[in-house]
Structure 1
Amino acid sequence: MKRVIIDCDPGNGIAGANTDDGLAIALALASPALSVELITTVAGNTPSDVGAQVAKDLLVRLGSALPVVQGATQALKEDHAPWRAALDRRVRQLDMLDLWQGVRAPAPIAVDGDDAADAIGRLVCDHPGEITLVAIGPLTNVALALQRYPAMAEAVAEIVIMGGVFALDDYIKDTNFGLDPEAAHQVLHSGAAITLVPMDVTTQTLLTHQDLSRLTARDHPLCHFVRDTLRPWIDYSIRTRHLPGSWIHDVLVVAWLLNQRVASGTDYRVDIELRPGPTRGKSWRYRTPLRVDVGIPADCGALVHVLHHVDNGLLLEIIEQALTSLER
């Protein structure tokens, strides 16, 4: 059984917010092979306090005492205002609030603290080699934890990150790395064992309404949560991205921990652009030896395992098996 911390920015039940974090949490909670020991939230897809409410509300509905600790409210250096304007107002600008009509919003419930970085660092360092960190939001909390607990880079079993985008025509940068480039840079260069799950592979995933109905057919609170909160996001994705369903980025991280046949990967040198300008927050990668290496230092970038191809059928099978095996 893998012991995991999930650091996330869930938006289930929040109009216009992506729901893939909630699906990732649901898969982790439903899987006997994983022991979720802490959920922390970071500003990203939603503000960190909103994400904490989403996670805590779900756990209360499940009767779980698993701790939820709120984390960083903004990036290390990046101005959060333009990101919040884009992320929080888009659904209204597109006049699609109606999609969330009747969807239960998370109840205002007290969470278990507001210092996620400390909670992450202490848990990892108290159990060296035993904790896998699932980082599916901006990496602010993780970077702060590594700053405060330098031993954490060696103590953590692995950090599996959803973030970065390398070669998608419609993206220069993604939200997770773009919202806090300095944090992403610090974590990538920390020396920890890292697997990166970029948008290049997560945009190969797809969940349709038909898939969702099949996956959540069981009468269980976790299935109800997934079905009710993902339906409006799938409709939103169909309208705005012209897909037959929605991408389910973050859940691939959890599925890969359960069954590494779900995605293949390769070791790359990876880094992120920190300079001001339109490419700030852009991630890049290369494999050695470079065919043209003029002006490029040896071992430039951090050595990271990067996933690049997904078996979407197996991904859906992993989710379905976990959710349909739930006991009331």
Structure 2
Amino acid sequence: MKRVFAVFVCAAVLFCGCGKKVDKKMQTTREEVIPVIIDVDTGTDDAIALAFARKSAVLEVRGVTVVQGCVGLEQAGANTLAVCDHIGLQAPVALGAQRPLVGEPITDPVNHGESGLGSVELPQPKMEFSELSASELIWQEAQACEGKLQIVALGPLTNVARALQEHPELKEMIARVVAACGEGGENHPIEFNAKNDPEALQYVIDSGVRLTIYDQQTTEASWGFDMGTTKDGRYTSTLNVLAEKYPDNTMTPLFKGVGKSWLGNYLYSVYPIIWLNVNEAHNDLDYQNNWVRLCYDWCRVTCDTSTGPNRGRTTFTIGEGGPVQWVFFSSTSAFLEVDTLAQCYQ
């Protein structure tokens, strides 16, 4: 009789779905779901950023658009499909610009490897590209989301600029563009995404669309001090440490392959996704009674579009009531965030 009852209970659990695997999500302080399109040139940092977006409790990924950048468009597209398929991100993937608005494209094989994904090797994806172009997918989702759509631009801003050019009314239909671009001052190297297509960045700025720029220096405080030690005492990157900690994790192939690249401990694109998930960058946050400024609201920003050595350099003017929010510091611990991400993919 007890055996019959046990079988009955198990069947009831399976029937009601209680035995299904729970899709664990990253914690958030937000309450409203944010519909987003993520625009990528999928190199090493974008791959991890897509994994974060997939597990965000608050981001609804309506689509992924692909732009030329650290690698050419064809390779970036192949990388994006493979990563989305591997992490289970079921969203349309649309190809966009093959070249910048002006001039020739530049790539970044030194930091991302020739393939863009370091030494990452993923299975052939089952997913296929959307029949829509990147611009048309952005336009379609902007209409469907009724003014709530946000675009997270993690590569050069060519796709965003083209969408605004082709659909001028789009600027009134997008809640915000969050862009990973720009550097923190003239003493810093010119940031890659701005340098790749400065005309596109300037066009987006001039369009008047609400824009948050996530400065590349935001990553230095977290990634630069979050390197760890492996089991045998080797000093290595955060991702290599986590690959050893979670040997059978879905993220482990990405951690291992990306961890070998120069950017394996400096994943710039991850931070805008984390910021959107928790919205940490409010001014005057109190950290143990020390007031810390993380961003400046409504700056004026220009991007150098000359052909000289400063091409792509961004200049921020604070306090002039411009259309740009500038995020230049993050208190987020990279190690803790990526450790939590790995747990979500167990």
Normalised to the residue count of structure 1, the TM-score between the two structures is 0.78
Distance 1:170 1:5, change over 3 A: same
Matched, 1:266 2:327: no
Could you say which residue in structure 1 is the equivalent of 2:22? none
| Cα distance change on mapping 1:56 and 1:7 into 2, 3 Å | same
Aligned with residue 280 of structure 1, among 277, 301, 311: 311
Offset, 1:149: 1.5
Mapped partners of 2:112, 2:147: distance in 1: 42
Distance 2:172 2:342 in 1: 34
2:235 matched to 1:247? no
| TM-aligned CA distance change 1:32 to 1:89, over 3 Å | closer
Asked whether the equivalents of residues 66 and 77 of structure 2 are also in contact (C-alpha less than 8 Å), the reply is yes
Q: Is the 8 A contact 2:275 2:281 kept in 1?
A: yes
1:10 aligns with 42
What's the CA shift string for 1:250-293, capped at 9, x where partnerless? 1000000011226721122111112231222211011236xxxx
- Structure 2: where are the runs of 5+ without partners? 1-32, 228-235, 283-293
**Equivalent runs, 1:108-257 vs 2, <5 Å:** 110-113=128-131, 115-167=133-185, 169-171=187-189, 173-206=190-223, 208=227, 209=236, 211-212=238-239, 215=242, 217-218=245-246, 219-221=248-250, 223-233=251-261, 236=262, 246-257=265-276
Q: 1:316 to 1:162 in 2, by over 3 A?
A: same
Q: Which amino acid aligns with 1:21?
A: D
Extract unaligned runs of 5+ from structure 1. 12-18, 238-244, 290-298
Distance in 2 of aligned mates of 1:91 and 1:58 = 15
Residue identity over aligned pairs, in percent, reads: 25
| Post-superposition offset of 1:114 | 6.4
Query: Amino acid of the residue matched to residue 276 of structure 1?
Result: T
Query: What secondary structure sits across from 1:278 in the alignment?
Result: coil
Distance 1:90 1:29, change over 3 A: closer
- 2-structure distance, mates of 1:114, 1:37: 13
C-alpha contact (below 8 Å) 1:41/1:51 kept by paired residues: yes
| Offset, 1:27 | 0.5
CA distance in 1 between partners of 2:123 and 2:193 (Å): 23
For residues 78 and 325 of structure 1, do their structure 2 counterparts lie closer, same or farther at Cα, with a shift above 3 Å needed? same
| Deviation of 1:214 (Å) | 5.8
Contact 2:259 2:265 in 1 (8 A): no
Which protein is bigger by CA-based radius of gyration? 2
What SS does the aligned partner of 1:55 have?
helix
Give 1:107 shift.
3.2
CA contact (8 A) 1:128 1:157 kept: no
Corresponding residue of 1:293: none
Pair 1:25 & 2:50 matched: yes
Q: Secondary structure at the match of 2:323?
A: strand
Distance 1:231 1:62 in 2: 18
- Name the residue aligned to 1:15: none
Displacement of 1:168 in angstroms is 5.7
Q: Which amino acid aligns with 2:60?
A: S
SS at match of 1:261: coil
| 3-state SS of paired residue (2:178) | strand
Shift in Å, 1:90: 7.8
Name the Cα RMSD after superposition: 2.8
The Cα shift of 1:307 comes to 0.8
Kindly provide the amino acid, as one letter, of the partner of residue 307 in structure 1: V
Please identify, of 34-43 and 106-115, the stretch whose mean Cα deviation from structure 2 is larger: 106-115
Asked whether the 8 Å contact 2:239–2:265 carries over to 1, the reply is: no
Distance 1:277 1:114 in 2: 36
Q: Report SS of the residue matched to 1:309.
A: coil
Question: Structure 1 pair 200/69, CA: closer, same or farther in 2 (3 Å)?
Answer: same
Question: 1:37 Cα deviation (Å)?
Answer: 1.4
Opposite residue 187 of structure 2, the aligned amino acid is: D
CA distance in 1, matches of 2:34, 2:181: 22
Distance in structure 2 (CA, Å) of the matches to 1:323 and 1:38: 23
2:155–2:193 CA contact under 8 A, matched in 1: yes
2:230 is matched with which residue?
Answer: none
Which shifted more, 210-219 or 258-267?
210-219
- 1:292-316 residue CA offsets vs partner (Å, 9 max, x unmatched): xxxxxxx7xx421111211142x44
| Alignment CA distance shift 1:35-1:115 (3 Å) | same
For residue 14 of structure 1, what is the aligned residue in structure 2? none
C-alpha separation in 2, matches of 1:262 and 1:322:
20
Tell me whether 159-168 or 179-188 shows the greater mean CA deviation: 159-168
Name the residue aligned to 1:317: 336
Over 3 Å counting, the alpha-carbon distance change for 1:257 and 1:107 in structure 2 is same
Distance change (3 Å), C-alpha of 1:190 and 1:324: same
State the TM-score, normalizing by the size of structure 2: 0.74
Q: Distance in 1 between matches of 2:172 and 2:241?
A: 41
